[in-house]
Structure 1
């Protein structure tokens, strides 16, 4: 599955689009695999309770997962998966 990452996550992952082969079919499985691949990303996106940090957004085919099953949302390899970290600025 191709995952697009934005802002500081690009630096951590080494590019805008990365190939992730999750061990399951949920958003959480994709993010877990990304944390395995890029350990730095965990503290950027997850709280200690393994929930998304405030203002971290995951979009599947342009739809925010908060409007679906959140981290339990099922994804397919053909889905467009986008991960946005908290962004500050003015």
Structure 2
């Protein structure tokens, strides 16, 4: 599944669009596969207890997706890292 990544995730992945093969069909499965493939991305996506940070955003098509939303192959997926600062 192709994912377009933004911000520091682009550096972690080495390019703007990457191909990831999740073991399941949900947004959570896709994020897990992304972190497994690009381990340096974990600091931008996961908290210290390995849960996905609340400010991580995943867009599937034109909609913001929740972690348990299904994703079908061929959908346009965009991944935005957690925002920091204030």
TM-score by length of 1: 0.83
Q: Which has the higher helix share?
A: 1
1:24 — aligned with what? Answer: 24
2:69 — aligned with what? Answer: 73
Q: Secondary structure at the match of 2:3?
A: strand
Distance 1:8 1:27 in 2: 20
Distance 2:25 2:8 in 1: 26
Distance 2:77 2:61 in 1: 7
Matched pairs, number:
85
- The gaps in structure 2 that reach 5 residues or longer are none
TM-score by length of 2: 0.86
- The gaps in structure 1 that reach 5 residues or longer are none
Q: CA deviation at 1:87?
A: 4.5
RMSD: 1.7
